[in-house]
Amino acid sequence: MCGIFGYTGKKEAQGLVLQGLRQLEYRGYDSSGLAVQCGAEELRFEKTKGKIRNLEEVLKTNPLRGSTAIGHTRWATHGTPSQVNAHPHLDSANRIAVVHNGIIENYSRLKEKLKKEGVSFRSDTDTEVIVHLIAKYYRNNLEEAVRRAIKDIRGTYAVAVISAKEPGKIVAARFDSPLVAGVGLGENYLASDVSALLDHTRRVVFIENGEIVSLTENSMRLMDLEGRAVKRLPSKIDWNISQAKKGGFPHYMIKEIFEQPEIITAILRERIKKEKHRSAVFFEELKINRREFGKIKRVILIACGTAYHAGLVGKYILEAFTDIPVWVDTSSEFRYRNPNVDRRTLVIAISQSGETADTLAGLREAKSRGAVTLAICNVLGSSLSREARGVIYTHAGPEIAVASTKAYTAQLAVLYLLGLYLAGIFHARPRKKIQDTLKEFFRVPVLMKEVLENYKRDEKNWAKNAHDFNERYHAQLKKYFGGGAIEKKRSPNGFFLYLGRGINFPNALEGALKLKEISYIPAEGYPAGEMKHGPIALIDENPWVICLAPRSKTYDKMISNIQEIKARGGMIIPVVTRGDREIRKLDPFYSIEVPAVEEIFSPLLTVLPLQLVAYCVAREFGEDIDQPRNLAKSVTVE
């Protein structure tokens, strides 16, 4: 999401830190800055909104001379993208500087406490709380001050700190946000991503959760939060820089698939607060009060592409949690169909970028008719977030692969939390039921991680099945086209059909979309109950049918659908609950298991195999997975 780079040694630090930040640009950011120890117990800093080149222009006329520095690229989460909110943040005396990745969950309480102690704040960020805490505890020992400050903080963080009073030293700490130290000769480095270090060193030490590292030009000391020494030898990294930016994965898409459990965990930690022995959903940036929500009589969700599929799942979620009627519309249709909305209608616009042209136009149409408007998006300060009455950010970090994966599940997570938030307002669920549902929700990212770990263990088998499909598919091509140059052709006889029921039907649409986007293979998603109304005519030995069949109230009906496909020779790939025996009896081509979970949360698990199927097939076909043809990450035209 954000980027950190630090250097201490004998060289001029400014250029090295800027070079490191440029290596982190791929992560996405809206501002950048750096702080340098300039001698005579002095810290100097510069920060700018926008691209790193803006910072470089300022530094051309006002260079920061010194051999110890920390720098940062910021993707805004608390506070708008601006120069004052950019990192680094300094204490009131400008003697301590901090850069930070992550989210401090209890920053509001800490900020109020510090204000009562006389501290003045310059920014709207959660990060500024950290530097004032460190200054509060500082007694000529930076490690101890950082250790004490970190123990006050709840949330996720990777923090790097320098002090004017301790030249040549960087102190850093982490919890659930990556941080790695680079070991040099007479110099040491710090970064949030190993890719930024590889121009300088291949020897690195990965900082673990709950650890603090202290760097000087000739030393690196690790300790835990109690100050006890931690011993760890450096690792040697053989990746090239491109591999490193992808975290060792071959493509951004698979990297982003594997980031999903961590992102959902972060969303839950940020949005769910403990209040008097119970949990409550909290949206700091929402700006729509409970009284306004209480007047709502219906909800309309508008979105495009993958976000539209998230909206379809959202319909099931909101109706289940609130008992309010919910409609879902593609943004491009909503704006032209004379929608019947008024001031008692909540229109929720969903967009990863917040710049989708049709969704923006739909939002404006809803506003013009008096509707209460809410945006769910990933990019702080985007057009959608500015124009909507209220906004909820997904905080999924930059998504680089064109085919959306982590943005989708982050949107679902926000919709679940919104549903539970509204359930409390409308008294649609008993308080204990809401508490039980929140408790179950915290299990979900753990189960998502299990699904992905199972894939890693069974990756060779996934690859083999993709290869088998490739062989079968090209055999069909030769039969259809009569041989010849077939490598770029797609057979109308070889396609995928995705079937789902209930809350998993939208995932059938999403799975088909993912396959089409990156492999260019024809694929369709349908409600399984509609199979007899047309799609069954396509079933013979050619189509591959992916059936979403976790345990649910429609499980028996799904088995009937699978039996009908089996009777006609279709190749069945069911996604089932772990331990399922009934579907195994039907001898499917390959079963994919997901852990058991409450049915309402099952889409967060069943979508993962669909993303992986699309990825494996596209990889087997040799397609450009991260940048498929004809597609753009943000569709800003109609």
**Residues classed as catalytic:** 2, 633
Query: Own/partner pairs for 47-55, CB < 8 Å, 24+ apart?
Result: 47/83, 47/86, 47/87, 47/88, 48/83, 48/86, 49/81, 49/82, 49/83, 49/86, 52/18, 52/21, 52/22, 52/25, 55/18
Omega before 88 within 30 of 0, i.e. cis: yes
What whole-number distance in Å separates Cα of residue 131 and Cα of residue 250? 38
DSSP 386-414: HHSSEEEE-------SSS-SHHHHHHHHH
Residue indicated by tokens 């069949």: 549
Q: Which residues pair with 47 in a beta bridge?
A: 33
Task: Give 81's DSSP letter.
Answer: S
What whole-number distance in Å separates Cα of residue 618 and Cα of residue 623? 5
Cα angle for residues 13, 16, 22 (degrees, 5° grid): 140
Taking a C-beta distance cutoff of 8 angstroms, is the pair 30, 48 a contact? Answer: no
Phi, psi at residue 614, to the nearest 5°?
-60, -45
Q: Which residues contact 180 (CB under 8 A, 6 or more apart)?
A: 190, 191, 192, 193, 194, 197, 204, 205, 206, 207
Taking a C-beta distance cutoff of 8 angstroms, is the pair 417, 271 a contact? Answer: yes
463-466-467-468 Cα dihedral, nearest 10 degrees: 120
* Number of alpha helices (DSSP H) and beta strands (DSSP E) in the chain: 19, 27
Give the 3-state secondary structure of residue 582.
coil
Pick from 195, 307, 287, 184: nearest CA to 246: 195
From the centroid of its chain, how far is CA 612?
17
Task: Give 176's DSSP letter.
Answer: B
What whole-number distance in Å separates Cα of residue 521 and Cα of residue 539? 17
What whole-number distance in Å separates Cα of residue 471 and Cα of residue 621? 10
What whole-number distance in Å separates Cα of residue 262 and Cα of residue 401? 18
Taking a C-beta distance cutoff of 8 angstroms, is the pair 330, 323 a contact? Answer: no
Residue indicated by tokens 């491109």: 242
Cα angle for residues 405, 411, 415 (degrees, 5° grid): 150
Return the amino acid letter for 348. I
